[in-house]
Every structure is written in C-alpha cells, then in structure tokens.
Amino acid sequence: MAMYNRGLKDSYIEMGVEYVEIVGDAECGGICLDYVDGEPIRIADAEINVELPPYHPNCACSFVAWEETEVVENPEE
C-alpha cells in the first residue's frame, strides 16, 4: 500500500492537485479515523507515513484530490 500511495501522490502532483483529503478504510478498525477529518492536506508538504497513509502496516486508507467547494459550508465566516 505504501508503494501505491507514493505513486498516487506523484500522480496528483503531476496533475496539478494541490490539496488532498484522507479517505479512511473501515478495515483499519478506526485507528486511522483520527486522520479522516475532511481537512485538506497540502500535498507538496505531506509525507507518506506521516500526513498521508499508510499510517501503519496493512493500512488500507488512501487519499483523493480535495475540492474546495465540498467544504465551504459557512462562506460568511
């Protein structure tokens, strides 16, 4: 999974994606849910195994391109 996510990170950077958000996998048993908060993570600053999954052996979490429109719930704030 680590190799997969590393390639995924490179692909997003090549695509011009600046931010990603974590997608948790239920098989991780909740260990990773602390990371799944919908907060955008700046991919250029993010390290695999630290900010980006996998967070532990056999971690099945991944990440997707973050879209700004998905999280703007209170534009007046």
C-beta of residue 30 within 8 angstroms of C-beta of residue 61: no
- Per-residue binding string, Zn ion, 10-49, x by CB under 5 A, is ------------------x---x-----------------
Please, what is the minimum distance in Å from the beta carbon of residue 19 to Zn ion?
20
Q: What share of the chain is helix, strand, coil (3-state, %, to 5)?
A: 35, 15, 50
Q: What does each C-alpha distance from 19 to 10, 52, 76 come to in angstroms?
A: 13, 11, 22
Q: Does residue number 59 form part of the binding site for Zn ion (CB under 5 A)?
A: yes
Please, what is the minimum distance in Å from the beta carbon of residue 4 to Zn ion?
13
Residues that bind Zn ion (CB under 5 A): 28, 32, 59, 61
